[in-house]
């Protein structure tokens, strides 16, 4: 006896789509096919809908102390919103402060997250300093189930910045352990000096923000990180890639055979820097910045060419009151944007519904590729029998006009406010349990589990 059958849908995997029912038992995918009279406690008719593996958002910052405040979504509100947007797994960060080891930061972050999470989650371990002990710390983290590490090439003032040697050596050590290093790639010297000069010249308005960290600031750092991956034999992941020039650098690295992967976000694909000239400009300020329409086009091309493999969000939400801390000076903006709930719908609408990408590519970008790269496949990111029944059911004809008022993120604006998206999740299942019913979140804080992850699986 199955617990649930999703009947008459179209199943989508990373390589194909086909008409099938999906049977769930004990939180796992039990059967995929025409299930006819197979008995089940519950049946849901999902005709006309796509049944896909739940989304993975591998770049979030819940309740992050940052820019003099704390990001507005905590592990309850952020994971609840994730579920309402079809996301069933996220990976957040443990960032050690002064005098704290990466493992201690992981333990503290788990204390914050474990009782609260409504979906499954993992952690990347950030290294904010690199000592003789760091290689052993990395080994310990891999054994614990954390094979991915974050290095910030900027944020010197926060005490987070990694220099070139750290980057090279961390890539080398991570590779020996089956791990991967992800970077926030911006050239700190240019970013700091350009910011200082603009401020000195009195160019402090939000319209000057993109000029404080232009595309070449990102592209140079990406190219340099790729060089260190090449030299060390390491595997490199570019978090939140924003620019066409950065995409060119990744394409070049891949041509040279470097193990480099890149993530972008719907904000970088769909929004542009004209927004910084509007009164709401600070709401759109994140690092690296959203850029020009030509960058949107190049990033979509990067997806088509396979140079961009993952869509994530860098979800780091600040509400209007927090954003108001900028007081007219772009360098004081709390940097970050919300996105975890809107990412899949906007990609579906702007990607699948417009014909830019096909359904298997949607599954690869949002689910299968991040699951493979971050050591969770096939348990996550697939609908293979015996794996976790993390499922999103998308109705391709459902039209929703996005507005923060109807979304579940703990923030009083939406970067895509007013956008009518075609295609929307109508059910989200976490390990077989419905946690989003098409209108409301119906799960519980604590439904989620911490995921111990395995080695990186190259794409
Ligand atoms: O501006 C951003 N992206 N804030 C979050 C921290 C980071 O850089 O990922
Ligand atoms: Zn970042």
- What are 103's strand-pairing partners? none
Residues with CB under 6 A from ligand 1: 61, 184, 286-287, 314, 316, 335-336
Rounded to the nearest angstrom, the distance between the alpha carbon of 324 and the centre of ligand 1 is 17
The rounded distance, in Å, linking the Cα atoms of 445 and 14 is 30
Q: Which residues of the chain have pLDDT under 50?
A: none
| Ion ligand 2: protein residues whose beta carbon lies under 5 Å | 184
C-alpha 400: how far from its chain's center? 22
3-state SS, 74-113, equals: CCCHHHHHHHHCCEEEEEEEECCCCCCCHHHHHHHHHHHH
Candidate of 59, 60, 61 to mutate for ligand 1, largest count of ligand atoms within 8 Å of Cβ: 61
pLDDT for the residue 441:
98
The rounded distance, in Å, linking the Cα atoms of 91 and 124 is 7
Rounded to the nearest angstrom, the distance between the alpha carbon of 317 and the centre of ligand 1 is 10
The torsion angles phi and psi of 412, rounded to 5 degrees, stand at -100, 30
Q: Whose CA is nearest to atom 4 of ligand 1?
A: 336
Give the CA radius of gyration of the chain: 21
pLDDT for the residue 253:
98
Ligand nearest to the CA of 64: 1
Tokens, residue 307: 């140079």
Q: Whose CA is nearest to atom 9 of ligand 1?
A: 314
Rounded to the nearest angstrom, the distance between the alpha carbon of 182 and the centre of ligand 2 is 10
Rounded to the nearest angstrom, the distance between the alpha carbon of 308 and the centre of ligand 1 is 19
Give the number of other Cβ atoms within 10 Å of residue 396's Cβ: 16
Contacts of 247 (CB under 8 A, 6+ apart): 241, 262, 298, 299, 301, 302, 307, 308
Helices marked H in 315-425 — which ranges? 320-323, 343-347, 359-363, 369-373
Candidate of 57, 63, 66, 159 to mutate for ligand 1, largest count of ligand atoms within 8 Å of Cβ: 66
Is 134 in contact with 98 (CB distance < 8 Å)? no
Ligand nearest to the CA of 66: 1
């Amino acid at each position: 006896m199955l617990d649930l059958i999703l009947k008459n849908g179209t199943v989508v995997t990373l390589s194909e789509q086909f008409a099938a029912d999906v049977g769930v038992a004990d939180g796992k995918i039990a059967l995929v096919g025409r299930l006819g009279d197979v008995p089940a406690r519950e049946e849901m008719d999902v005709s006309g809908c796509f049944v896909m593996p739940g989304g993975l958002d591998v770049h979030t910052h819940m309740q992050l102390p940052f820019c003099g405040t704390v990001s507005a979504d905590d592990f309850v509100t952020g994971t609840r919103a994730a579920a309402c947007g079809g996301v069933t797994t996220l990976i957040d960060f443990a960032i050690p402060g002064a005098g704290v080891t990466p493992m201690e930061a992981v333990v503290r972050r788990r204390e914050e997250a474990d009782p609260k999470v409504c979906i499954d989650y993992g952690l990347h371990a950030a290294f904010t300093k690199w000592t003789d002990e760091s290689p052993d710390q990395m080994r310990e983290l891999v054994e614990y189930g954390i094979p991915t590490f974050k290095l910030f090439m900027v944020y010197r003032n926060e005490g987070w910045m990694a220099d070139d040697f750290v980057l090279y050596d961390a890539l080398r050590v991570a590779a020996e352990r089956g791990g991967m290093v992800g970077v926030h790639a911006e050239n700190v010297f240019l970013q700091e000096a350009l910011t200082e000069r603009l401020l000195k010249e009195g160019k402090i308005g939000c319209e000057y923000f993109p000029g404080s960290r232009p595309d070449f600031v990102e592209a140079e750092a990406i190219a340099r990180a790729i060089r260190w991956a090449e030299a060390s034999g390491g595997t490199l992941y570019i978090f939140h890639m924003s620019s066409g020039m950065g995409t060119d650098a990744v394409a070049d690295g891949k041509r040279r055979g470097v193990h480099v992967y890149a993530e972008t976000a719907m904000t970088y694909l769909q929004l542009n820097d004209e927004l910084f000239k509007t009164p709401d400009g600070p709401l759109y300020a994140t690092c690296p910045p959203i850029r020009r329409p030509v960058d949107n086009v190049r990033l979509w091309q990067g997806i088509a060419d396979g140079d961009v493999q993952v869509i994530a969000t860098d979800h780091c939400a600040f509400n209007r009151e927090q954003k108001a801390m900028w007081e007219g000076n772009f360098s004081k903006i709390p940097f970050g944007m919300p996105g975890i709930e809107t990412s899949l719908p906007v990609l579906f609408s702007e990607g699948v519904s417009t014909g830019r990408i096909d359904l298997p590519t949607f599954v690869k970008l949002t689910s299968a590729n991040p699951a493979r790269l971050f050591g969770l496949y096939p348990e996550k990111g697939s609908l293979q029998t015996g794996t976790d029944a993390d499922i999103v059911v998308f109705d391709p004809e459902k039209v929703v006009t996005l507005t923060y008022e109807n979304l579940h993120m703990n923030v009083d604006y939406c970067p895509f406010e007013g956008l009518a998206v075609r295609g929307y999740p109508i059910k989200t299942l976490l390990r077989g349990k419905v946690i989003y019913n098409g209108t409301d979140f119906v799960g519980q804080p604590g439904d989620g589990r911490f995921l111990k992850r395995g080695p990186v699986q190259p794409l």
